[in-house]
Amino acid sequence: MPAFICTTCGTQYTESAEPPAHCTICEEERQYVPASGQSWITPERLAARNANTFRQHEPGLIRITTVPAFGIGQGAILVCTSAGNVLWDCISLLDDATIAMIKGLGGLKGIAISHPHFYTTMVDWSRAFGCPVHLHAFDRKWVMRPDKAIKFWDGDTFALLPGVTLIRGGGHFPGGTMLHWAQGAGGRGALLSADIATVTPDRKFLSFMRSYPNLIPLSAREVEGIAASVAPFAFEKIYGHFVDRIITADAKQVFAKSVARYLAAIAGTARGPLE
Ligand SMILES: [Zn+2]
């Protein structure tokens, strides 16, 4: 039986003879069912029509994206360290070429995912590479394909590998997670922020939302919580969700000024009356 994938959000469900009746992820307020209705695809059909591309942004950091874009346009990032490789976030398409290339780079020690919109086919990836998937326990209810390889972590941080730390920022989802890579950016540190802190199109700021497609903002308290979560960490670069969304320098300062801008915007103190 196939494990069907929602074509709108990319989430894979437990094996079934027929496609599921609904997508729980898409029917929740942070996602959406398109006007054309719910539709499903099997992993085999997806692999037949799409392919993955690989871009190295710096030594040890390779972004993997699917073309044409699939789901919500998810990207994954392969972080290669001397202690092993981590897949940060996950994408629906796992094809033979992707398996061969990652195995050629030493395989995976683990998979860590920022929030449920990137859970996608995490169980298929876990089985292909024989590694666990690390999810924050606060988002446990959004796992649509349970598996013994899924390990839930609690608390504010989780040391995944030497120099690779998961940080719970919350916000977009209660368990919303970012990854800190100490050796990134030439040893000055890189933050892989997904859309817990999303890099804006001008690549000068970050912003923070409960729902990006449905434009639901976060509260001041939630954004202050995200800011506090990264305060102990040094980072020069931020890699966001999309391939071109990178803060290339002074990212710690960019984070601080972005939080200040957001808080002023929702407090109504950002501008004069005619601006
Ligand atoms: Zn969906």
Cα(32) to ligand 1 centroid in Å equals: 8
Residue 219 is classified by DSSP as: P
Residue 242 has what pLDDT? 86
Torsion from C-alpha of 94, 99, 102, 107, nearest 10 degrees: 110
Residue 139 has what pLDDT? 98
Cα(34) to ligand 1 centroid in Å equals: 10
Full strand arrangement of the beta sheet holding 237-240? 157-161, 164-168, 177-181, 190-194, 237-240, 246-247
Whose CA is closest to 246, among 61, 122, 102, 113? 61
Cα(258) to ligand 1 centroid in Å equals: 30
Structure tokens at 19: 């496609």
Strand, helix or coil for residue 103: helix
Distance CA 129, CA 125 (A): 6
Residue 106 has what pLDDT? 98
Count Cα neighbours of 150 within 13 Å in the Cβ-side half-sphere: 21
Cα(200) to ligand 1 centroid in Å equals: 24
Does the pTM of the predicted model rise above 0.95? yes
Fill in the amino acid letter for 86: V
Cα(24) to ligand 1 centroid in Å equals: 7
Residue 166 has what pLDDT? 98
Residue 275 has what pLDDT? 85
Distance CA 26, CA 6 (A): 9
Cα–Cα distances in Å, from 163 out to 62, 132, 168, 176, 187? Answer: 17, 18, 16, 20, 10
Task: Write the burial class of residue 72 (CB in 10 Å: 0-12 exposed, 13-18 middle, 19+ buried).
Answer: buried
Cα(147) to ligand 1 centroid in Å equals: 19
Residue 12 is classified by DSSP as: B
Cα(8) to ligand 1 centroid in Å equals: 5
What is the enclosing helix (H) or strand (E) of 226? helix 220-230
How many residues does the structure list for the chain? 275
Residue 74 has what pLDDT? 96
| Residue 53 β-bridge partners | 65
Residue 245 is classified by DSSP as: -
Cα(26) to ligand 1 centroid in Å equals: 4
Distance CA 254, CA 249 (A): 9
Residue 120 has what pLDDT? 98
Cα(40) to ligand 1 centroid in Å equals: 9
Fill in the amino acid letter for 5: I
Contact 150, 143 (CB under 8 A): yes
Give me the sign of the Cα torsion angle 221, 227, 230, 232: negative
Cα(98) to ligand 1 centroid in Å equals: 23
Residue 143 has what pLDDT? 98
Distance CA 116, CA 165 (A): 19
- 199-214 pLDDT, tens digit per residue, is 999 999 999 999 999 9
Cα(2) to ligand 1 centroid in Å equals: 16
Give me the residues of the chain with pLDDT under 70, please: none
Contact 181, 163 (CB under 8 A): yes
Residue 65 has what pLDDT? 98
